[in-house]
Amino acid sequence: MSVAPLPPEERISLRKLLSPRQPGDAMAAYYALYHPSAKTRIWVHRAASGRMDGFLVSAKTGQDLFRPFLTIRAPNAFSAAELLRTAFPSPQPAIVSIPEPLGVWVLPLLSLESSRRILVFRLNGAKLEPVINVLVVRSTSPEGLARFEIRRGDRLLAAAGVNWQSPDWAEIFVRTDPSVRERGHGKSVCAALSRHLLGENRQILYAVEEGEEYSIRLAGSLGFEDTGERELLCAGSVRMDPQRER
């Protein structure tokens, strides 16, 4: 068994370890297959037979300029440990997103600052009803992705934008000034963005932290449905000793 870096030109080989059309693998597939190569490092784990059976992606994103964003797929605890040990020979702060079932293997290897359970919702386009609000204005994010906003002068009241998008999927965010919640601003910008993305033939995901009742209600009001997928979003660093005996 071994772990080694994966050359950028071989990223397509990771598809065999993912189900890119399933909500639970959509984000991992984006970072593994489509995130800009100059901002992405990938390590793969191979079984004794030489067959690739796991990977770790470390991506630089605009969400945190000082900590890489990690996502992992591994068949067992040993593979997960080998991937982390090779990618991080010394402790380094990172943001880690993993499917909840992998938590039993990965979380013990991290020094955690925080850990959040994320619910993954998927838009049922047939349930999306038009929301007309003349205050909604389209803009563009620094990455060139679609964004819809409501402003009052220089004050941003609500915004909906794209965290990441692949040829098949887009994950969105919605932010609403707490002082104007329940006035329909968040729903208006989210509906406008959703219509735009559906027009591009993308399926839409909305990741919500467990317990965020406003966001959960907003999702339901627009036709988002709970996929049952759960992610763990963690901030911390790899804490295991890379020289520890196996």
pLDDT in tens, 29-73: 999 999 999 999 999 999 999 999 999 999 999 878 889 999 999
pLDDT reading at 244 higher than 80: no
The verdict on 28 and 114 lying in the same domain is yes
Does residue 243 fall inside a structural domain? no
Q: What is the CATH number of the domain that holds 130?
A: 3.40.630.30
Clarify whether residues 111 and 13 are in a common domain.
yes
Q: Does residue 104 sit in the same domain as residue 176?
A: no
pLDDT digits (tens, 9 = 90+) for 139-191: 999 889 999 999 999 999 999 999 999 999 999 999 999 988 888 999 999 99
Q: Indicate whether 27 and 48 sit together in one domain.
A: yes
Q: Do residues 7 and 111 both lie within one domain?
A: yes
Confidence of residue 242 (pLDDT cuts 50, 70, 90): very low
Domain of residue 33, residue span: 2-118+231-238
Q: Are residues 75 and 134 in the same domain?
A: no
Note whether residue 246 is domain-resident.
no
**What is the torsional sign of CA 172, 177, 182, 188?**
negative
User: What's the pLDDT band for 245 if we cut at 50, 70, 90?
Assistant: very low
* Whether residue 155 is found in the same domain as residue 96: no
What is the distance between the alpha carbons of residues 89 and 75, in angstroms, rounded to a whole number? 21
Same-domain check for residues 104 and 162: no
Same domain, yes or no: 10 and 102: yes
* Burial status of residue 226 (CB atoms within 10 A of its CB: 0-12, 13-18, 19 or more): middle
pLDDT at position 64 is 84
Q: CA distances (Å), 130 to each of 15, 127, 190, 192, in order?
A: 36, 10, 11, 8
Task: Tell me how many domains the chain contains.
Answer: 2
Query: How confident is residue 131, by pLDDT bands cut at 50, 70 and 90?
Result: very high
